[in-house]
């Protein structure tokens, strides 16, 4: 029986490649919305990302940056690269509103319990006065990362121009082509081609290729699903020092998909990944120290690792660090510091953090009480599926609490959302 699960508050899920994504790609946004929204509320990162795009770009829905940010945050909290790039694009537009808005279309990597992809090409440093010129591979990578506006035709040309060199042994270009075909930049993902290019680079033990091909075997995307092959590929990349593969291998050992559960080896690999400052490994290790999984329970170690991950901006770690700090687990109790971390996690889209932030503002727990902010947080949490938040709003509207005017219609609407 699998013992280990992902730390993320909402469970991670495989990339959506079914009718919802197909309807989105075909421009049938009404149908896409009807399929993707239930998937997104169940925690599927790719569905959340696509809903964010629909809201950000006004695709079949009224453009709404707040709702777009909400869905991007939900997906980004599970490690979705495209969502993170989209958030960065939103931030850039808000910081410099005089600049023309650009459509940020980024690569979408699968968000499974044990997968994060690494970039094949590093963008060159640029000065503030004049950006450094990009090579063709860097242009394609910039489109995949959402740094440069997507141009489907140009991306296809760039990919075609690299194929000969990649086939002749350029492993960096082979990995980049794998990322291109795995993404939606060319339209619908071509997983078989992605696996082919990753496989070419994996023959030379390229760690990113080994890891990404392992992820495809884990899910059965473009290849026959095989946990044993996924673990074998992760192992090769992990031994080569790839911190993401070390994390992925650790979770597979803890899940026992390809053999017996090995908690000792799991935590050994997590420590190796965490030592390379990989936030998801730090947060997962923190959870195990908190719950005593494979190691003696140690709240001090738990809060230390949660802090390392939280300071890197991992929202789920910020949430747990906030909870432990507010309760005095592993360190001195501080409602103020705990509230700050929980509010950061809420802003990043962690639904339980939204609910706790609402209670913080309502009751003045480490922050000055503020009913207006409390109501806003309860609404966000209720929209994210937290029934307790919807129930609190139903009561507040029924009784005129939280500075709200009594409103029977709103009370009934939120009660229905709460399942009452």
pLDDT averaged over 10-residue windows placed end to end, the chain, 420 residues? 43 50 76 78 79 82 75 76 73 40 26 43 43 75 81 93 94 94 86 95 95 93 95 96 95 90 94 95 95 94 96 93 96 95 92 94 96 95 91 96 95 90
Q: Which two tokens stand for residue 363?
A: 């009751």
Query: Contact, 14 vs 182, CB < 8 A?
Result: no
Over residues 216-251, the pLDDT tens digits come to 999 899 999 999 999 999 999 999 999 999 999 999
CA Rg value for the chain: 22
Q: What angle do CA 176, 180, 181 make, to 5 degrees?
A: 120
Q: Are 369 and 402 in contact (CB under 8 A)?
A: no
Residue 164 is predicted with a pLDDT of 95
Q: Dihedral through CA 328, CA 331, CA 334, CA 340, nearest 10? A: -110
pLDDT of residue 275: 97
Residue 382 tokens read as 């209720």
Report pTM: 0.71
Q: What is the pLDDT of residue 101?
A: 28
Q: Hey, CA dihedral for 239, 279, 191, 142, is it positive or negative?
A: negative
pLDDT at 3: 47
Q: What is the pLDDT of residue 282?
A: 96
Q: Which two tokens stand for residue 131?
A: 């950006």
| pLDDT at residue 56 in the model | 81
Indicate the SS3 state at residue 407: coil
State residue 186's pLDDT score.
Answer: 84
Give residue for tokens 């609910």: 355
């Amino acid at each position: 029986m699998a013992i280990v699960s992902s730390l993320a508050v909402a469970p991670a899920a495989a990339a959506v490649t079914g009718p919802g994504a197909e309807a989105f790609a075909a421009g049938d946004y009404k149908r896409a919305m009807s399929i993707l929204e239930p998937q997104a509320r169940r925690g599927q990162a790719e569905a959340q990302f696509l809903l964010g795009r629909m809201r950000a770009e006004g695709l079949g829905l009224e453009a709404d940056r707040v709702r777009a940010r909400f869905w991007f945050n939900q997906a980004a909290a599970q490690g979705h690269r495209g969502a993170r790039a989209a958030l960065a694009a939103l931030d850039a537009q808000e910081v410099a509103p005089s600049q023309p808005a650009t459509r940020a279309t980024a690569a979408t990597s699968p968000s499974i319990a044990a997968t994060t992809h690494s970039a094949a090409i590093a963008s060159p440093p640029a000065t503030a006065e004049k950006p450094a010129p990009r090579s063709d591979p860097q242009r394609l990578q910039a489109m995949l990362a959402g740094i440069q506006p997507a141009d489907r035709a140009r991306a296809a040309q760039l990919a075609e121009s690299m194929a000969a060199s990649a086939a002749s042994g350029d492993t960096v270009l082979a990995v980049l082509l794998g990322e291109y075909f795995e993404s939606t930049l060319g339209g619908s993902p071509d997983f078989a081609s992605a696996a082919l290019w990753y496989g070419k680079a994996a023959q030379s033990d390229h760690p990113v290729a080994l890891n990404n091909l392992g992820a495809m075997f884990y899910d059965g995307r473009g290849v026959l699903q095989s946990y044993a092959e996924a673990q074998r590929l992760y192992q090769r990349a992990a031994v080569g020092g790839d911190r993401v593969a070390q994390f992925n291998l650790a979770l597979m050992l803890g899940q026992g998909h390809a053999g017996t559960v090995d908690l000792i080896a799991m935590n050994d690999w997590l420590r190796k990944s965490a030592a390379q400052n990989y936030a998801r490994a730090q947060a997962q290790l923190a959870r195990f120290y908190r719950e005593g999984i494979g190691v003696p329970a140690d709240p001090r170690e738990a809060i230390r690792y949660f802090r390392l991950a939280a300071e890197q901006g991992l929202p789920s770690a910020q949430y747990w660090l906030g909870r432990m700090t507010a309760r005095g687990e592993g360190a001195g109790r501080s409602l103020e510091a705990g509230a700050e971390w929980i509010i950061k996690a809420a802003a990043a889209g962690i639904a339980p953090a939204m609910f706790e932030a609402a209670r913080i503002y309502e009751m003045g727990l480490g922050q000055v009480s503020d009913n207006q902010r409390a109501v806003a947080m309860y609404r966000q949490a209720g929209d994210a599926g937290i029934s307790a938040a919807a129930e609190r709003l139903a009561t507040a509207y029924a009784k005129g609490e939280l500075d709200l005017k009594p409103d029977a219609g709103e009370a009934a609407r939120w009660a229905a959302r709460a399942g009452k």
